[in-house]
Amino acid sequence: MRTIRICILIILLQCLCVSAFSQESRTEVRVDFRVNSAVIDPHYANNREQLLDIVSVLQRLERDTTLTLVDVYFCGSASPEGSYQLNHALARGRLSALEQLVRKDIELPDSIIRYDDSYISWNILRQQVLDSDWSNKQEVLDVIDQQPHLVDYPGGRHIDHRIVTLQKMNKGRVWRQLQKLYFERMRNACVIFVVYRENYQAVASVIPSKQMETFYREFYQGYSDEMIYPENWGADPNPWTRYMHVKTNALGLGAAISNVALEIDLGKHWSFALPVYYSALNYFIPTIKFRTLAAQPEFRYWIREDNQGFFVGAHAGVASYNIAVDGDLRYQDHNGESPAWGGGLGLGYRLPISKNHRWNIEFTIGGGVYKLHYDTFYNIENGKMIGTYEDLYWGLDQVAVNISYRFALNKRKK
């Protein structure tokens, strides 16, 4: 009997030691997003204070050597408007934006990173409705509590049937009220830092991972089959948004050639660009000129799914030209009606130069082969034509340093 008492005492003392020296703390920070945006705006809502909280947590971890960061949870959410596919992509984009912001300031091993992109926080919406003084709130709660399933949505997409039901209630009045009162709070991403002090391994061994899964299920609930469970956490969210870029080649402008280009994302890894160049100027004296009207459409393949970083491209080209470089001859496409035509391959790299990633710089170089049919003239005023020639040019046909501004193309509210 005495032995049993001693064993019990030892166990109690061990538990007390674990409690005294292994304290768990969780710090949650949430940032809000504007409609249809996955860009963190520090001037929106209460984001400035929330971002300062993240800095405070990271500084505390750096200063206090008794603290060990054992888990970091990232989650993203959208409000219910729009299709399942668009909302899910937007939630993942918000999650990724917050993760990039946190991980750029601290080195975090992938083994402690956990994700949840349930995409719509139905439990938060339910609690807001439950706390309201709506006369018909029980009817709304009954719809929210239904087992979700997807139904067809325009464009070959899908949507949660509960959204369709809520939109039809009371001729749309209920849906408009939900939008007005609650949806803004659902457009967010959050990070939860889980920290243990001192002997954290002993505590971690007695806290089952299922407990954290339950905690996270209760915090952000959505489709059960879309939930990223602990054993699958660590997968790359890898969001994708379609963009259009408007850009200009700084090298062309430096050569007094006006130019503009549009580029549109066709899908992950793929885009289409169309630059147009025009110049009708002499370079200070009549014997130096590079007059042109040219276009160079190009299909691009990007190494990354977000269509940033490195790319390779295949382009066609057509150009009217009137060229003189202060030599004896001037060259012009035959009768002004025989532009050079051909095509080639190029490669390049694009990277953001603004914090919101809207402004970008792009470096491009390429080569090609072009069929030429041109006339030569003496390079003097009203110089006589010497002859007409046909030739094949091969070499550089693409050198650019593009400055671009991008627009998100998915306009539907989330």
CATH classification at residue 78: 3.30.1330.60
- Of 180, 201, 232, the residue that ends a domain is 232
pLDDT of amino acid 165: 92
Per-position DSSP letters for 157-211, written without gaps between them: EEEEHHHHHHHHGGGGHHHHHHHHHTGGGGSEEEEEEEEEESSHHHHHHHS-HHH
Q: Are residues 220 and 344 in the same domain?
A: no
pLDDT tens figures, 350-372 = 999 987 788 999 999 999 999 99
For the chain, give the percent of residues with pLDDT over 90: 42
Lowest mean pLDDT among 1-15, 42-56, 79-93: 1-15
Q: Could you tell me if residue 12 is inside a domain?
A: no
Q: What is the reported pLDDT for 349? A: 96
**Domain for residue 280, yes or no?**
yes
Same domain, 155 and 107: yes
Question: Would you list the DSSP string of 303-366?
Answer: SSTTS-EEEEEEEEEEEEEEEEESSSEEEEEGGG---EEEEEEEEEEEEE-STTS-EEEEEEEE
In a domain? residue 4: no
- Predicted model pTM: 0.46
Q: Please report whether residue 205 resides in a domain.
A: yes
> What is the rounded CA–CA span in Å between residue 141 and residue 126?
6
Is 90 exceeded by the pLDDT of residue 228?
Answer: no
Domain that holds residue 207: 23-232
Same domain, 89 and 201: yes
Q: What are the pLDDT digits (tens) for 123-177?
A: 888 888 999 888 888 999 999 999 988 898 887 788 889 999 999 998 889 999 8
pLDDT of residue 25: 83
User: Is residue 85 included in any domain, yes or no?
Assistant: yes
Residues 58, 119 share a domain: yes
Residues 191 and 333 in one domain: no
- Same domain flag for 336 and 220: no
Q: Are residues 262 and 197 in the same domain?
A: no
Could you tell me if residue 261 is inside a domain?
A: yes
Which stretch of 28-37, 236-245, 318-327 has the lowest confidence by average pLDDT? 236-245
269 and 221 in a single domain? The answer is no
Rounded Cα distance, 270 and 299, in Å: 7
Average confidence (pLDDT) over 175-196: 89
Q: What is the pLDDT of residue 240?
A: 64
CATH number, position 384: 2.40.160
Report yes or no on 6 lying in a domain: no
**Mean pLDDT calculated for residue range 186-190:** 91
**Is pLDDT at 116 greater than 50 in this prediction?**
yes
Residue % of the chain over a pLDDT of 70: 82
Q: What is the mean pLDDT of residues 252-271?
A: 93
Q: How many CA atoms lie within 13 A of 174 on its CB side?
A: 22
* pLDDT score at 198: 60
Domain endpoint, select from 205, 232, 259: 232
Does residue 345 surpass a pLDDT of 60?
A: yes
Mean pLDDT, the chain, as a whole number? 81
Cβ atoms 152, 164 nearer than 8 A? no
Q: Say if residue 42's pLDDT is above 50.
A: yes
pLDDT at 206 over 70: no
Q: Is pLDDT above 80 for 213? A: no
Angle at 296 between CA 290 and CA 300, to 5 degrees: 140
Average pLDDT of the segment spanning 320-330: 90
Q: Which residues contact 287 (CB under 8 A, 6 or more apart)?
A: 324, 326, 330, 379, 380
The total of structural domains in the chain comes to 2
Last residue in a domain, options 182, 208, 232: 232
253, 176: one domain: no
281 and 402, same domain (yes or no): yes
pLDDT of residue 117: 62
Least confident of 20-24, 254-258, 301-305, 314-318: 20-24
For the ranges 18-32, 269-283, 367-381, which has the lowest average pLDDT? 18-32
Are the beta carbons of 67 and 125 closer than 8 angstroms? no
Q: Is 155 exposed, middle or buried (0-12, 13-18, 19+ CB in 10 A)?
A: exposed
337 and 403 assigned to the same domain: yes
User: Are residue 165 and residue 287 in the same domain, yes or no?
Assistant: no
Looking at the predicted structure, is the pLDDT value of residue 219 above 50? no
In a domain, 237, yes or no: no
